Amino acid sequence: MTAKYRLLALDMDGTLLNDDQVITPKTVEWITKAVDAGVHVCLSTGRAFRSAMPYAEQLGLKTPMITVNGSEIWREPYELYRRSLMDPALIEQLYQIAEDYGIWFWAYSTEQVYNRKNWDGDIMGREWLKFGYSTEDDEIRHKLLMQLQDLGGLEITNSTPHNLEINPLGVNKAYGIGEVCRLLGIEMSEVVAVGDSLNDLAAIQQAGLGIAMGNAQKTVQQEADAVVATNNEDGIAEVIEKYILPS
């Protein structure tokens, strides 16, 4: 295959999925065309594996996958290649900060997602991948960000303007895509990365072609090489038609 781009790395929420959490028929059609043309299509998401996998199955993807913002890289569906864990003592700290502010939080273990509703306090007995906070109070969120930056050693992003997501420093979607490139024997310059939030920013900056959705956060649009239609207007179909399989 002589295509310039050989890997399409897709964020899910706000990118591949519309606001109803559905991949539209037109987007499915164009992803199928890309796969048939020999392009690797890789889901690159902040979601946990079990939450992302049904969509990979819907698309018939057998390619590597990036989950939990790069904390897990899958060689193929159900075959884990690499996992980056967070120190349980750090999770304890992050949980205490959530309690101090009285805000919503979630924590991804290797088994399931915990939040304020199902938190049982068993921190040391589990392996942890990611922690997150959500608040619409801009002042609290800013204070929280400052506090997290002071802790150091953290990768701090978001998946909506109202949340903060924490992974180990250096663990992000760009790192994940780099690992997938090594698995597939391709270069970062051959990658198209698409997303809408700050957890997509590093990937968009480092890929051969970084594309922001029309609904992407302003910073993401400013850093992207191109901006396409929104997730509700088949932006991914546009990416493939215009940049990957141009006639």
Active-site residues, by number, are: 11
Rounded Cα distance between 138 and 142, Å, is: 6
Taking the C-alpha atoms of residue 62 and residue 155, their distance in angstroms, rounded to an integer, is: 29
| Largest CA-CA distance found in the chain, in angstroms, rounded | 56
Q: For residues 185 and 181, what is the distance between their CA atoms, to the nearest angstrom?
A: 6
Distance CA 192, CA 88 (A): 35
Residue position matching structure tokens 């007995």: 125
Q: How many other CB atoms sit within 10 Å of the CB of residue 202?
A: 24
Q: Which strand (E) or helix (H) includes residue 116?
A: none
Which residue in 33, 40, 16 sits closest to 180, CA to CA?
Answer: 40
